[in-house]
């Protein structure tokens, strides 16, 4: 019987046939795909013709086609619907795939062909896109160690293999901690919570087979619990479990993994001739250097910290007014911040949430894309990996443009957080392949028959991830290696964070924020209060983010710390971290940084991109129309469709006419007065 992962996919749009794929199919498919990739590489290096762009670079672009197809299907289920078999496969695949990658980048004959083209680049008559792909291909080889020899080459292979294993284990440990912890709630506990939080706790208990309602470590449940539970002891218990993920002193403890990862990253950078890992990693980003990143973060840190300290004093007064002695603690902040928000802005999330239905927010994200870019979304049936997952056909002018997949609800088998990935990337090299894009979120699943309700932060997350999806769906390049989100890490968050601004457009909320029971639109006074409170508690939000970004930077900009937890504490002390605020991601559960290299030395990129997204949306505000057709067309042409075909700074300047300063970001966060 043919392995379904290797057969021709006859499903709608050529999506993976998840209804036929068994877990035992993945390993044979990966092994066969690697064998095909090796044969393709051998065909390139064995070609007797002189190297050309077509027979070397374009052939290399296509070499891993089967492997990428198999891994996209596996990566999707491993992240969003894991099980013990898939976790074991992840552990098996990590060193296997790392070894194959090292085999390719250390292939001297292959690199010689790439390098010879680089040396002749000015005489090859390349298009600008081809010249960019050649530069990026050679640079990737060099940065992977293609020019290393002997013991250094062997050691680089060992280091990368070990890092792949560590990243996989780090991720699985967090998932295990989140899956295994829960806190039961009594009827009395439940009665003190808003209806929507109580309903979510009941649904979580049913989902996990508990005897009653529970709190889990899913952000979509634990955050509202911390906001609304008046039981300080329970808040403390839940909060301490949340921040202890990956640091429980058990088999899932990530602290030694963090230490070893930092040591190996430093060694990897030094093998390539860099002073440290931050210098290596940032060389290819817009920021360029650790100093530039630090400068941006500290420009924001100072006013954010001042705002947070002022807020902390107000919240501590509320704590004392409740008859509680002692200082404000981290498990108190969200509770008193929510009470203060209601008092100062007459804004109660329990009142707000019924107007933020998941279905209506999905419609809103689609409607904005229709008005801006002429995209239409039609639900279709296709075999997916979980009953909760949904599919839409994306068209423009009646022509199929992409497939969009939404996987919105939290479950124990899903990694925490939210992300966008692609089952198929856009490219035109072999055929005009249309992108298959997936958004994965972790919203609280309602009880059967009840509507799914979002917090305003949840709604922003939905728009954020859909901004990434637009970057993929509107991609219009020839080569997959520069398609969609294949851009500098500190540029990739621009489309996603920019799209969040459309959620704040009053006309969008007026149309789509309708009550789950009555169907009535959000009252105008509530809408006004919501938008006026958009920067409420921004000191807290900025401090917890910037502290994480600075710790990430300092971990990598210098010698690897012998004790990362001590180093983390020293960094926070030097910053004057407010007592009642913790990092958004402490090292043992900092998946952005330690589950792989993606955001290592790069967590700052959200803020680097925010400087641009605040400035970019200001262009629409200056035009007096958030759906200005000319600006939308320019945004698509110069950023969303261009992928990595040009340098990120060039693309942004072409859209806006200049690079921005930090002022737009501070204004957008309501921090200018504190600067």
CB 593 within 8 Å of CB 568? no
What's the rounded Cα separation, in Å, for the pair 4 and 16?
Answer: 9
What's the rounded Cα separation, in Å, for the pair 300 and 406?
Answer: 34
How far, in Å, are 185, 194, 201, 205, 266 from residue 211 at the CA level? 10, 21, 12, 7, 48
What's the rounded Cα separation, in Å, for the pair 281 and 496?
Answer: 22
How far, in Å, are 74, 220, 386, 416, 436 from residue 410 at the CA level? 19, 8, 12, 8, 22
What's the rounded Cα separation, in Å, for the pair 297 and 291?
Answer: 10
* Number of other residues whose CB lies within 10 A of the CB of residue 70: 26
What's the rounded Cα separation, in Å, for the pair 594 and 587?
Answer: 8
Q: Which of 516, 505, 199 has its CA nearest to residue 356?
A: 516
What's the rounded Cα separation, in Å, for the pair 469 and 484?
Answer: 9
Q: Which of 542, 504, 501 has its CA nearest to residue 356?
A: 504
Instruction: Give residue for tokens 């990590």.
Output: 94
DSSP 388: T
CA 138 from chain centre, in angstroms, equals 27
According to DSSP H, which parts of 322-431 are helical? 330-345, 349-352, 358-373
Active site residues: 465
Instruction: Using DSSP, state whether 562 is helix, strand or coil.
Output: coil
What's the rounded Cα separation, in Å, for the pair 22 and 1?
Answer: 13
What's the rounded Cα separation, in Å, for the pair 218 and 207?
Answer: 13
Instruction: Using DSSP, state whether 322 is helix, strand or coil.
Output: coil
């Amino acid at each position: 019987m043919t392995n379904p992962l290797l057969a021709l996919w006859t499903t709608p749009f050529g999506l993976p046939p998840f209804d036929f794929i068994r877990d035992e199919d993945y390993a044979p498919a990966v092994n066969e795909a690697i064998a095909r990739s090796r044969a393709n590489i051998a065909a390139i290096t064995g070609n007797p013709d002189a190297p050309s762009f077509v027979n070397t670079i374009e052939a290399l672009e296509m070499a891993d086609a089967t492997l990428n197809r198999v891994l996209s299907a596996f990566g999707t289920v491993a992240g969003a619907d894991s099980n013990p078999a898939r976790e074991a496969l992840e552990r098996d695949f990590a060193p296997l795939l790392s070894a194959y990658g090292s085999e390719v980048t250390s292939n001297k004959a292959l690199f010689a062909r790439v390098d010879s083209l680089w040396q002749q680049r000015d005489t090859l008559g390349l298009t600008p896109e081809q010249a960019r792909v050649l530069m990026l291909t050679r640079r990737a080889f060099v940065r992977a160690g293609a020019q290393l020899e002997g013991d250094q080459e062997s050691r680089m292979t060992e280091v990368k293999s070990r890092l792949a294993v560590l990243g996989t284990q780090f991720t699985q440990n967090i998932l295990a901690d989140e899956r295994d912890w829960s806190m039961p709630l009594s009827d009395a506990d439940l009665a003190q919570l808003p209806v929507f939080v109580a309903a979510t706790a009941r649904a979580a208990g049913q989902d996990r087979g508990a005897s009653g309602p529970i709190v889990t470590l899913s952000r979509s449940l634990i955050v509202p619990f911390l906001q609304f539970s008046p039981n300080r002891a329970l808040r403390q218990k839940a909060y301490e479990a949340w921040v202890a993920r990956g640091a429980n002193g058990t088999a899932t403890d990530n602290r030694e993994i963090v230490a070893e990862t930092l040591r190996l990253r430093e060694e990897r950078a030094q093998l390539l001739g860099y002073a440290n890992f931050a210098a290596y990693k940032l060389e290819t980003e817009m920021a360029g250097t650790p100093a530039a990143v630090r400068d941006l973060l500290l420009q924001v840190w100072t006013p954010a910290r001042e705002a947070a300290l002022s807020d902390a004093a107000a919240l501590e007064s509320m704590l004392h007014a409740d008859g509680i002695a002692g200082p404000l603690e981290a498990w108190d902040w969200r509770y008193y911040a929510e009470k203060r928000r209601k008092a100062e802005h007459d804004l109660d999330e329990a009142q707000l949430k019924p107007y933020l239905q998941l279905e209506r927010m999905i419609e809103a994200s689609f409607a904005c894309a229709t008005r801006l870019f002429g995209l239409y979304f039609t639900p279709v049936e296709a075999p997916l990996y979980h009953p909760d997952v949904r599919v839409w056909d994306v068209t423009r002018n009646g022509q199929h443009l992409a497939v969009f997949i939404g996987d919105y609800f939290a479950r124990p088998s899903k990694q925490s957080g939210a992300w966008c990935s692609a089952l198929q990337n856009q490219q035109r090299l072999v055929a005009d392949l249309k992108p298959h894009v997936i958004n994965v979120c972790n919203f609280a699943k309602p009880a059967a028959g009840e509507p799914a309700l979002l917090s305003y932060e949840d709604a922003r997350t939905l728009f954020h991830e859909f901004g990434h999806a637009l970057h993929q769906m509107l991609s219009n390049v020839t080569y997959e290696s520069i398609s969609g989100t294949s851009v500098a890490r500190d540029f990739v968050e621009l489309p996603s964070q920019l799209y969040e601004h459309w959620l704040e457009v009053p006309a969008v909320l007026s149309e789509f924020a309708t009550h789950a029971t009555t169907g009535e639109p959000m009252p105008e006074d509530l809408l006004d209060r919501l938008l006026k409170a958009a920067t409420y508690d921004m000191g807290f939000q900025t401090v917890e983010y910037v502290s994480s970004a600075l710790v990430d930077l300092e971990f990598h900009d210098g010698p690897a710390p012998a004790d990362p937890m001590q180093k983390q504490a020293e960094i926070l002390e030097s910053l004057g971290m407010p007592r009642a605020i913790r990092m958004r991601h402490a090292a043992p559960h900092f998946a952005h940084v330690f589950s792989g290299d993606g955001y290592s030395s790069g967590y700052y990129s959200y803020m680097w991109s925010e400087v641009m997204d605040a400035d970019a949306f200001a262009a629409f505000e200056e035009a007096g129309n958030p759906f200005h057709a000319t600006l939308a067309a320019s945004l698509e042409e110069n950023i969303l469709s261009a992928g990595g075909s040009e340098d990120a700074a060039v693309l942004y300047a072409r859209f806006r006419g200049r690079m921005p300063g930090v002022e737009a970001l501070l204004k957008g966060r309501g921090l200018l007065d504190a600067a």
